[in-house]
Amino acid sequence: MKRRIFIQKTAFASILPLIPKNTFSNPASSFKPISIASGNGLQATAKAMEIILKGGDALDAVVAGVNIVENDPNDNSVGYGGLPNYEGVVELDSSVMHGATHRAGAVAALQNIKNPASVAKMVLERTDHVLIVGEGALKFARMHGFKEENLLTEESRKEWVKWREMMSKEDDYLPPHSIDELDLGANTKEALKTYGTINCLGLDLAGNISGVTTTSGLSYKIPGRVGDSPIIGAGLYVDNEVGAAGSTGRGEANLLDCSSFMIVEFMRQGLSPTDACLEACKRIATHTKEKRLLTKDGKPNFNVSFYAINKKGGYGSAAIYEGIKYAVNDGKESRLETAVGYFKR
């Protein structure tokens, strides 16, 4: 009997919006709305701000923003048209986090569904879990009516074929090795590989913060490889009292430092978004010990970029190497700004 009442209540609850909408599209809001994203996120931030300025919830806003990039066949780092794994199959990772309710959802190694960010949001809204991977994530997406399709565009397929044809024994399957080995592994072919991703963060008029990170991950990865994007604390973290952070770039380095969580904690201690991002870059530089991942002068031979916003509408971005652009929208046009580099090129 008790169980029936519970199920009835739950069924009733499920027709209600699970994420509280902002009832206060109050023009006199004391919060300064902001949305920022990685450099491929000009349209994403514009869409997110459009929704925020109408009084929408920051999570709805940032997910609608990145859906545009996921659907874009010409962005080969995210969603449809993303570069595939080693076997030519596009596998997507994404996470979302909702500051107001401190809930998160994520999917990893998801095939055939072009909007992993929306599936991650569905994990947040309609499960008791945070992360669902692989076949389970696909079944969950199917259950909720997401359309299955081949995500490999002709352009991405050709890029993959080019990579296979140039492939040598230097791939991601490493033999036993010491940390002193040079010229080992796919990292020596860095120019052929990408870690492209989009992260988008937003602060809405109600003062609530949310974020999303979505990616096709490392190009030509070992099937099943999961990067930082769907890992809460690494590729994305939100604390509604403090701010939010997210990342793009070499996910393995970020997974070893849980940088997004670290950035939010640095902001809690009073650092600006940019300085907090710089601290995360410094931590990765300090923790990178394997010579195959270092330049001759001992710096990381890869890049990772971080994006952060705080509760006051402050924002910033830093990358291990300078030259990275990121998108900002503080209520008007989206624009590109330059991330601070921890190292010069």
**Residue ranges that bind ligand GLY, judged by CB under 6 A:** 195, 197, 215, 217-218, 227-229, 248-251
- Measured from the CB atom, is 76 or 208 closer to ligand GLY? 76
- Measured from the CB atom, is 101 or 188 closer to ligand GLY? 188
8-state DSSP, 142: H
Enumerate helices (H) and strands (E) in the chain, giving the number of each: 9, 13
CB of 285 to ligand GLY, least distance (A): 17
- Measured from the CB atom, is 206 or 253 closer to ligand GLY? 253
Cα angle 135, 113, 218; round to 5: 80
CB of 284 to ligand GLY, least distance (A): 12
What string of DSSP letters covers 54-94?
A: TT--HHHHHHHHHHHHHT-TT-TTSSTT----TTS--EEEE
- Measured from the CB atom, is 44 or 218 closer to ligand GLY? 218
> Reduced to 3 states, what is the DSSP secondary structure of residue 328?
strand
Q: Is 197 a catalytic residue?
A: yes
Q: Given 45, 194, 197, 214, which residue is catalytic?
A: 197
- Measured from the CB atom, is 190 or 330 closer to ligand GLY? 190
CB of 230 to ligand GLY, least distance (A): 9
Residue 211's nearest CA partner among 42, 66, 100, 98 is 98
**Pair of tokens at residue 314:** 């402050």
Q: HSE on the CB side for 263, CA within 13 Å?
A: 38
CB of 339 to ligand GLY, least distance (A): 15
CB of 229 to ligand GLY, least distance (A): 5
Q: Is the dihedral of CA 139, 222, 81, 244 positive or negative?
A: positive
Mention every residue, 6+ apart, whose C-beta is less than 8 A from residue 178. none
Residues 109, 134: contact at Cβ < 8 Å? Answer: yes
Active site amino acids: 197
